[in-house]
């Protein structure tokens, strides 16, 4: 195992621990000295410490904290970079260096030179095998910020460790060897970083010294990476040309690369915003960890604020029950606080006696998180034993632990090519998309909104091992037992104002069956009756909202899901929504039905295939028969007829006009021109 | 307006979250209390986590009978101040055999501390034990999880650690198995000192410099804390101004010469020093992987 991480490179100055004992003529950075040369490894702390310790401590006390990961294989110079960061920020002590020197000679892979990997490969098994097994956390600080760097192994089989390290990071430094450019592993690391929604991506193009500090090489790599990053959804990244060996653009600038006028790596990491700042901008959420009840007079709800801010007097809602109260106090040992923000651990008391226990979530009253028991999720499988679809696992999300089953995956993702693979299960380090059903409703938010209510782990009920990490995408249906209290203008108020009951009229049927014709007639009648309606047109949706979607199975599901969500918003606004999509699969229609219980009206425009093909208004059937169009419903792809549609229209017996009238009657009750 | 949290605020919040998570999920938690500066910070955080209540678990001191006298004094006072039960465990086998740091070297640590700890955890039926270890202390600690699983023999298997994602800790285990939990994992030595200073946490006075009777042995400055200290022929204790960076059994803990009589000066010296804090501990010097080995065997 780990064969790519071990073998010392035949080239000098490559791989681990490159030339640390070489004297390096370097910069004159004001704050960070050069890498010490052999024999003079001197620890040189900040001048301020000696001159004015109080000033130094005041400065240090107000530093913020940034957590980041480094990814890249050993050949990219990762260990050297980390060693360089520790050196330049003076995080290595003399005795640690002495031990490292001794270890390097004994078990290192760099001959008499210092093997920097030994500094990060802390386990005996790692030293013996010369590989990095697990995530190591390193600490250093600069004048402006404190850093925790998670050093994660680069090899594919350690995907789970990279995911572990990345899950708590705000930023990722992705290393590229300037001589090699964007490699498969660069793509894999980038995909995982994007999957876990790390806020900042730094592309560190290393070993610029070995390509003559050539700007053209750097520019080409950045262009290549930009094209790839865009394709997987990484909108923004910062590219920095560096040399871990020479220290160029790490702590200090580079005289060898005058063409680069961007920030150094440290400069950049010192200034990017950290996750807790962004989390404050979102709505208030506090997953309740523990109910603090030391006496009959005190009942506090303790937890770490996942997002938003809270003040005494704020109206809050307890999820999943939906009950509301107001914040009475924010209690801490140092005294009550006037305000608390995302990232703080607090204890709240409420103005009313409401039921609330571990697993509940306190949230802003008028913008609470969702509650559901069926989800689509992306899973990263972390265990040697593969996923068993249908088996019950423990699912832990925030402070909630429930029973959960995972359906057979929709697809797995090849982390090297991003291709979607058809699979029956997920094995160690596999990543896939699947439906997850829980035995109790979960309070959640999509992972994109934050990991605290969107990230979960699965635990094997027998071994208690953590077998998977999951990222919730969206719920497949609303939980029924949630009681939402009045927000200022409710969906009922919207509907009442329009004098109507919101509906989603879902027309389904073969291409050319007459869905659009009838839907159009229905809307005209509704309009004439003063009803507020909207017809969602397939083509318009595909051209705008869903233009990023293709025709894979997953994309088709996503297409219908988005249409369902848009329809839900429109019904929230009180509208009668009409949609005309072939929607051939029962499961997709059921998914939308579940999103809009009671309002979903399935209208089956039942035209036999022979009849629809005979009409062939758009000439599509002819093309499908000749093979010009693949996966055409009715010809080369199945149509699953509704088993119990609310309305069935046999277009061979009923005219479009008559059908439209019948539909309007069905939804508005008895036909009356006065209504 | 965004309120940026400082690194100490974030560390504090994380530690409190960990403490509460254990109390919510474990059946019988206990806090290992060694009376050192890390223990002092951990105890302080526990008080904060459960305020206005009392931390709902006892403190456990695995006593080797060779701690500094000042440590015993603070131990009893700190537990009383927190209103927490203090359990003191002494390995009766080691006591019966008269194991001591002068005659038995590393056997002293093995029996009194490693075995003593295992005995105490088993005797109390504790399924989760808080420890004050930090990842910046030592290389194998840098790779240990915050919730560190121990099998029924209380052993740590570094190759079979549970993945630990986001703020989700898997505290599930079978009967007989247990967790060691390290709320201070992400703190550095400087963070500890700065927090002690900011929160005015009481620590053992030995961390501050004062004239104390010492002898020099094998390059280490040892303090003659009581009359059990065996002086070599001709050895005479000399008063030196010393302080300690870490505290263990007094005959095994090396002091540094220092004039730092207040916390700020200690921090200043620490920042200006060129050696890591574990240098003063004989236990780590044998071999590089010695701590990992000890941990695998059940040492904290």
Distance from CA of A87 to the nearest CA of B (A): 13
- Contact B172/A293, CB-based, under 8 Å? no
SS3 (DSSP) at B77: helix
CB-CB neighbors (< 8 A) of A304 in chain B: 13-14, 16-17, 167
Predicted pLDDT of residue A46: 65
The pTM of this model reads 0.72
Give the tokens for residue B252: 């095994």
Closest CA to A237 of A203, A271, A191: A203
Whose tokens are 């490159």? That residue is A18
Closest CA to A601 of A573, A572, A634, A576: A576
Provide the mean pLDDT of chain A: 81
Which segments of A218-320 are extended strands (E)? 238-241, 285-287, 290-295, 298-304, 309-310, 315-319
Exposed, middle or buried by CB within 10 Å (0-12, 13-18, 19+), for B52? middle
Q: What percentage of chain A carries pLDDT values higher than 70?
A: 82
* Secondary structure of residue B31 in the 3-state scheme: strand
Contacts of A289 in chain B (CB under 8 A): 17, 20-21, 24
CA A170 to chain centre: 12
Which residues on chain B are in Cβ contact (under 8 Å) with A358? Answer: 24
Q: Answer for the pair B221, B254: CB distance below 8 angstroms, yes or no.
A: yes
Three-state SS for A550? coil
Helix, strand, coil in percent for chain B, rounding step 5? 40, 15, 40
**In this structure, what are the phi and psi dihedrals at residue A87, rounded to the nearest 5 degrees?**
-65, -55
Q: Which residues of chain A does B164 touch, with a Cβ-Cβ cutoff of 8 Å?
A: 164, 466
Interchain proximity A64–B267, CB inside 8 Å: no
d(CA A669, CA A262): 68
The neighbouring-strand residues paired with A349 are: A329
Give the span between the Cα atoms of A422 and A479, in whole angstroms. 30
Instruction: Tell me the C-alpha distance between A437 and A441, whole Å.
Output: 9
pLDDT > 90? residue A287: yes
ipTM of the assembly? 0.88
Residue A205 above 70 pLDDT?
A: yes
Q: What is the pLDDT of residues B3-49, one digit of tens each?
A: 788 889 999 999 999 999 999 999 999 999 999 999 999 999 999 99
Q: Min CA distance, A125 vs chain B (Å)?
A: 8
Torsion of CA B188, B193, B198, B200, to 10 degrees: 140
- C-beta atoms surrounding A162 within 10 Å: 26
Q: What are phi and psi of A140, to 5 degrees?
A: -155, 165
Report whether pLDDT(A126) > 60.
Answer: no
Residue B268 has its nearest CB partner, among A49, A167, A459, at A49
The whole-angstrom separation of Cα A341 and Cα A276 is 9
- What is the DSSP secondary structure assignment for residue A406, as one 8-state letter? E
- Which among B49, B165, B172 has CB closest to A394? B172
Residue A590 has, within 13 A of its CA and on its CB side, a CA count of: 9
Packed helices B7-25 and B37-50: angle between N→C axes, nearest 10 degrees: 70
What is the number of other CB atoms lying within 10 angstroms of the CB of residue A360?
24
Tell me phi and psi for residue B292, to 5 degrees: -60, -40
Q: Give the 3-state secondary structure of residue B217.
A: strand
**What is the average pLDDT across A248-259?**
88
Identify the helix (H) or strand (E) that includes residue A437: strand A431-444
Asked whether A494 and A573 are in contact (CB, 8 A), the reply is: yes
Taking the CA atoms of A209, A214, A220 and A225 in sequence, report the sign of the dihedral they define: positive
CB atoms within 10 A of CB B102: 12
Residue of B142, B177, B188, B289 to mutate when probing chain A, most A C-beta within 10 A: B142
Question: Quick one: which of B175, B187, B167 has its CA closest to B20?
Answer: B167
Cα end-to-end span (Å), chain A:
75
Report CB contact under 8 Å: B163, A303. Answer: no
Q: What is the pLDDT of residues A426-466, one digit of tens each?
A: 999 899 999 999 988 899 999 988 899 999 999 998 889 99
* Distance in angstroms (rounded) separating the CA atoms of residues B75 and A635: 81
β A370-381/A431-444 pair status: antiparallel
β pairing state of A600-606 and A647-650: parallel
Distance, CA of B245 to CA of B206 (rounded, Å): 9
Half-sphere exposure of A86 (CA within 13 A, CB side): 25
* Segment A25-70, tens digit of pLDDT: 222 222 233 333 333 333 345 677 777 888 888 877 788 889 999 8
Q: How far apart are CA B32 and CA B196, in angstroms?
A: 19
pLDDT tens, position by position, B148-171 = 888 877 788 777 788 899 999 999
A244 vs A426: which has the higher pLDDT: A426
SS3 B117: helix
- A486: pLDDT strictly greater than 50: no
List, in sequence order, every beta strand (DSSP E) within A466-624. 466-475, 503-508, 533-537, 576-580, 600-606
Contacts of B173 (CB under 8 A, 6+ apart): A464, B127, B149, B179
pLDDT (tens digit per residue) in B95-108:
888 777 777 777 77
Rounded-to-integer distance, Cα B234 and Cα B253, Å = 22
Antiparallel, parallel or unpaired: β A647-650 and A576-580? unpaired
pLDDT at A10 over 50: no
Q: Categorize the per-residue pLDDT at A15 as very low, low, confident or very high, splitting at 50, 70 and 90.
A: very low
Helix/strand/coil (H/E/C) assignment for every residue in A458-479: EECCCCCCEEEEEEEEEECCCC
Query: What is the pLDDT confidence band of residue A109, given thresholds at 50, 70 and 90?
Result: low
CB interface of B with A, residues 9-68, below 8 Å: 9-14, 16-17, 20-21, 23-24, 47-54
- Which member of A46, A281, A457 has the closest CB to residue B170? A457
Which residues in A205-218 are b (16+ Cβ under 10 Å) and which e?
bbbbbbbebeeebb
Contact A403, A392 (CB under 8 A): yes
Contact between chains at A341 and B3 (C-beta distance less than 8 A): yes
Q: Which two tokens stand for residue B53?
A: 């209540």
Sheet containing A200-206, strands listed edge to edge, beginning at the edge strand earlier in sequence: A136-141, A145-151, A64-71, A171-177, A200-206, A238-241
DSSP code of residue A37: P
Mean local confidence (pLDDT), A620-640: 84
Select from B257, B135, B145, B247 the least CA-distant residue to B187.
B135
Q: Which residues of A touch B288 (CB under 8 A)?
A: 99, 102-103, 127
CB-based contact A294 B53, cutoff 8 Å: yes
Of the candidates A56, A99, A289, the beta carbon closest to that of B24 is on A289
């Amino acid at each position: 195992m780990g064969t790519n991480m071990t073998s010392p490179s035949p080239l000098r100055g490559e791989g681990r621990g490159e030339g640390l004992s070489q004297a390096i003529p370097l910069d004159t950075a004001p704050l960070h000295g050069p890498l010490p040369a052999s024999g003079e490894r001197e620890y040189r702390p900040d001048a301020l410490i000696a001159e004015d310790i109080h000033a130094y401590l005041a400065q240090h006390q107000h530093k913020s904290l940034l957590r980041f990961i480094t990814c890249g294989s050993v050949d990219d110079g990762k260990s050297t970079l980390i060693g360089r960061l520790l050196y330049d920020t003076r995080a290595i002590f003399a005795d640690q260096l002495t031990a490292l020197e001794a270890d390097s000679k004994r078990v290192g892979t760099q001959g008499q030179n210092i093997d920097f990997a030994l500094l990060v490969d802390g386990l005996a098994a790692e030293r013996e095998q010369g590989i990095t097994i697990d995530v190591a956390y390193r600490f250093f600080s600069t004048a402006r910020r404190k850093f925790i760097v998670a050093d994660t192994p680069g090899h594919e089989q350690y995907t789970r460790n990279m995911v572990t390290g990345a899950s708590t990071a705000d930023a990722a430094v992705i290393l590229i060897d300037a001589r090699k450019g964007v490699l498969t592993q660069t793509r894999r690391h980038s995909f995982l970083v994007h999957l876990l929604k790390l806020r900042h991506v730094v592309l560190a193009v290393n070993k610029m010294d070995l390509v003559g500090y050539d700007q053209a090489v750097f520019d080409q790599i950045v262009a290549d990476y930009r094209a790839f990053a865009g394709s997987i959804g990484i909108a923004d990244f910062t590219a920095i040309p560096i040399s871990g060996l020479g220290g160029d653009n790490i702590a200090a600038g580079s005289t060898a690369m005058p063409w680069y006028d961007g920030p150094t790596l440290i400069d950049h990491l010192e200034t990017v915003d950290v996750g807790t700042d962004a989390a404050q901008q979102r709505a208030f959420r506090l997953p309740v960890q523990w109910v603090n009840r030391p006496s009959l007079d005190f009942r506090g709800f303790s937890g770490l604020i996942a997002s938003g801010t809270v003040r005494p007097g704020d109206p809050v809602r307890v999820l999943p029950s939906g009950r509301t109260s107001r914040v009475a106090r924010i209690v801490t040992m140092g005294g009550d606080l006037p305000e608390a923000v995302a990232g703080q651990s607090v204890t709240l008391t409420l103005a009313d006696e409401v039921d609330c226990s571990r697993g509940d979530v306190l949230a802003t009253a008028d913008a609470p998180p969702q509650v559901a028991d069926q989800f689509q999720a992306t899973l990263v499988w972390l265990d040697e034993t593969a996923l068993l679809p249908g088996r019950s696992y423990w699912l832990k999300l925030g402070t909630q632990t429930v029973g959960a089953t995972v359906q057979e995956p929709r697809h797995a993702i090849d982390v090297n090519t991003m291709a979607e693979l058809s699979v029956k299960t997920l094995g160690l380090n596999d990543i896939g998309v699947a439906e997850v059903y829980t035995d109790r409703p979960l309070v959640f938010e999509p992972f994109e909104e934050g990991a605290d209510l969107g990230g979960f782990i699965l635990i094997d009920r027998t071994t208690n091992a953590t077998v998977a990490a999951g990222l919730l995408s969206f719920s497949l249906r609303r939980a029924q037992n949630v009681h939402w209290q009045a927000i200022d203008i409710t969906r009922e108020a919207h509907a009442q104002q329009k004098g109507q009951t919101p509906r989603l009229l879902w027309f389904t049927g073969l291409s050319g069956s007459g869905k659009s014709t009838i839907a159009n007639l229905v809307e005209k009648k509704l309009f004439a009756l003063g009803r507020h309606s909207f017809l969602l047109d397939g083509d318009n949706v595909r051209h705008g909202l869903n233009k990023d979607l293709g025709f894979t199975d997953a994309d088709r599901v996503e297409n219908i899901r988005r249409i369902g969500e848009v329809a839900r918003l429109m019904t929230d606004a009180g509208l009668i929504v009409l949609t005309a999509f072939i929607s051939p699969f029962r499961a997709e229609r059921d998914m939308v039905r579940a999103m809009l219980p009671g309002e979903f009206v399935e209208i089956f425009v039942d035209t036999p295939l022979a009849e629809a093909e005979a009409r062939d208004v758009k000439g599509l059937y002819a093309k499908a028969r000749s093979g010009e169009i693949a996966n055409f419903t009715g010809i080369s792809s199945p149509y699953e007829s509704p088993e119990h549609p609310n309305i069935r229209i046999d277009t061979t017996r009923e005219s479009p006009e008559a059908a439209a009238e019948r539909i309007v009657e069905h939804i508005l009750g008895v036909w009356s021109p006065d209504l | 307006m965004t309120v940026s949290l400082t690194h100490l605020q974030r560390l504090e919040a994380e530690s409190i979250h960990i403490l509460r998570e254990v109390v919510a999920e474990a059946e019988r938690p206990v806090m290992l209390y060694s009376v050192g500066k890390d223990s002092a910070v951990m105890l302080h955080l526990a008080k904060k986590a459960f305020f206005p209540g009392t931390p709902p678990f006892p403190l456990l001191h695995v006593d080797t009978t060779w701690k500094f006298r000042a440590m015993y004094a603070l131990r009893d006072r700190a537990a009383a101040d927190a209103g927490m039960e203090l359990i003191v465990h002494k390995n009766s086998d080691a006591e019966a055999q008269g194991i001591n740091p002068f005659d038995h070297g590393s056997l002293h640590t093995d029996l009194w501390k490693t075995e003593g700890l295992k005995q105490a955890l088993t005797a109390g039926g504790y399924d989760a034990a808080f420890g004050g270890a930090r990842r910046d202390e030592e290389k194998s600690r840098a790779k240990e999880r915050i919730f560190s699983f121990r099998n029924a023999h209380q052993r740590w298997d570094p190759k079979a650690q549970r993945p630990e994602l986001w703020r989700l800790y898997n505290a599930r285990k079978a009967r007989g198995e247990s967790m060691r939990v390290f709320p201070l994992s992400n703190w550095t030595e400087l963070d500890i000192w700065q927090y002690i200073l900011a929160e005015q946490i009481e620590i053992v006075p030995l961390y501050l410099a004062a004239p104390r009777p010492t002898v020099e042995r094998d390059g280490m400055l040892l303090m003659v804390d009581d009359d059990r200290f065996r002086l070599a022929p001709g050895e005479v204790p000399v008063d030196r101004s010393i302080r300690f960076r870490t505290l263990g059994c007094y005959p095994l803990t090396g002091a540094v010469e220092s004039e730092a009589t207040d916390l700020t000066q200690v921090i200043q010296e620490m920042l200006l020093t060129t050696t890591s804090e574990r240098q003063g501990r004989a236990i780590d010097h044998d071999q590089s992987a010695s701590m990992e080995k000890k941990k695998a065997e059940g040492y904290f």
